[in-house]
């Protein structure tokens, strides 16, 4: 399956200035980066086209971001069937921007491990080895899935599948965005980059749901000059029902070019 979409930078005005042209160039990029969560949103399209609501309710995916997608890029998602999964490749022209896979597990998803929620701090500390230490829990403020917000997001990611609007279902990109918020709402970050996620869906979020993320920091490491943080993140409804469990990785302090 081949799916094409024109990329759009939803985060041009965000606090993360890696989505600003001038700042991104300081780190060796040619312009502002389209957020990885939106690249993931593009990559999910073939999975939903193949498995429909079943994938939103109990499917799985992993996606690793390798090269930037820029605002206005014509992006191609290639999904190749391989046994019980789809192999995914996201490209701009001939440049591979992301790779991954999606599949529909036969077993029902089972929550693994206990979670802990706490509200974001009134005053966020600067991001550091101490404020992002392994073992700490990060919580997000409640996020309401509304019809208007869903419509805006579907338009922004140029989603062509009618299932979301027709059935009032949150888009996977909206769910994954909450994992980013676990970082943003708890520490003050400089320019930072989401580099990959492994997602297991447990249920489909709907319009009217109020969601929060709970994320435990599992690692804070230095790799090739970048400082990375790894999260075991959960997205839950108000009643405690699990929407998704995500292994989420971000560079919280990139090395600068030169």
For the chain, give every domain's residue range.
Answer: 2-105+116-253
The tokens for 112 are: 């693994």
Helices (H) and strands (E) in the chain, counts: 6, 11
In order of 22, 121, 126, 209, the CA distances from 188 in angstroms are 20, 11, 5, 28
Task: Please choose, from the candidates 64, 63, 61, 41, the residue with its C-alpha nearest in 3D space to the C-alpha of residue 105.
Answer: 61
pLDDT at 112: 65
Inter-residue contact 3 to 179 (CB < 8 Å): no
User: Whose structure tokens read 């469990």?
Assistant: 245
User: How many whole angstroms separate alpha carbon 231 and alpha carbon 237?
Assistant: 19
pLDDT at 91: 97
Return averaged pLDDT per consecutive 10 residues of the chain, 258 residues in all.
92 69 78 90 98 97 95 96 94 96 88 77 96 97 97 96 98 97 95 94 97 97 92 95 96 77
pLDDT at 17: 65
pLDDT at 19: 64
User: How many whole angstroms separate alpha carbon 95 and alpha carbon 155?
Assistant: 25
In order of 183, 188, 247, the CA distances from 194 in angstroms are 11, 15, 12
Q: Residue 253: helix, strand or coil by DSSP?
A: strand
The per-residue pLDDT for range 39-56, each reduced to its tens digit, is 999 999 999 999 999 999
CATH code reported for the domain at 2-105+116-253: 3.10.129.10
In order of 96, 189, 196, 232, the CA distances from 131 in angstroms are 34, 11, 21, 16
Q: Residue 29: helix, strand or coil by DSSP?
A: coil
Cα torsion for 9, 15, 19, 22, to the nearest 10°? Answer: 140
- Strands annotated E in 66-124: 74-82, 85-92, 95-103
Task: Please choose, from the candidates 157, 145, 146, 187, the residue with its C-alpha nearest in 3D space to the C-alpha of residue 15.
Answer: 187
DSSP designation for 156: H
């Amino acid at each position: 399956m081949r799916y094409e979409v024109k990329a759009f930078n939803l985060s041009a005005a965000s606090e993360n200035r890696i989505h600003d042209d001038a700042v991104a160039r300081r780190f060796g990029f040619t312009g502002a980066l389209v957020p990885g969560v939106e690249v993931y949103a593009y990559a999910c399209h073939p999975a939903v086209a193949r498995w429909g609501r079943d994938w939103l309710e109990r499917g799985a995916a992993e996606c690793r971001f390798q090269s930037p997608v820029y605002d206005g890029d014509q992006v191609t998602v290639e999904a190749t069937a391989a046994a019980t999964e789809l192999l995914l490749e996201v490209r701009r022209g001939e440049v591979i921007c992301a790779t991954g896979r999606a599949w529909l597990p036969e077993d029902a998803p089972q929550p693994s491990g206990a979670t802990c929620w706490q509200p974001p701090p009134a005053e966020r500390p600067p991001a550091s080895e101490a404020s992002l230490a392994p073992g700490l829990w990060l919580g997000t403020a409640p996020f309401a899935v509304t019809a208007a917000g869903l419509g805006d997001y579907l338009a922004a990611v140029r989603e062509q599948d009618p299932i979301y609007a027709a059935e009032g279902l949150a888009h996977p990109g909206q769910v994954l965005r909450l994992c980013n918020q676990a970082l943003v709402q708890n520490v003050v970050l400089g320019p930072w980059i989401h580099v990959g996620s492994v997602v297991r869906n447990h249920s489909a979020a709907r319009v009217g749901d109020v969601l929060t993320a709970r994320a435990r920091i599992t690692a804070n490491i230095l790799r090739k000059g970048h400082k990375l943080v790894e999260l075991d993140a959960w997205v839950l409804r108000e009643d405690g029902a699990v929407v998704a469990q995500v292994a989420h990785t971000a560079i919280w302090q990139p090395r600068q070019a030169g």
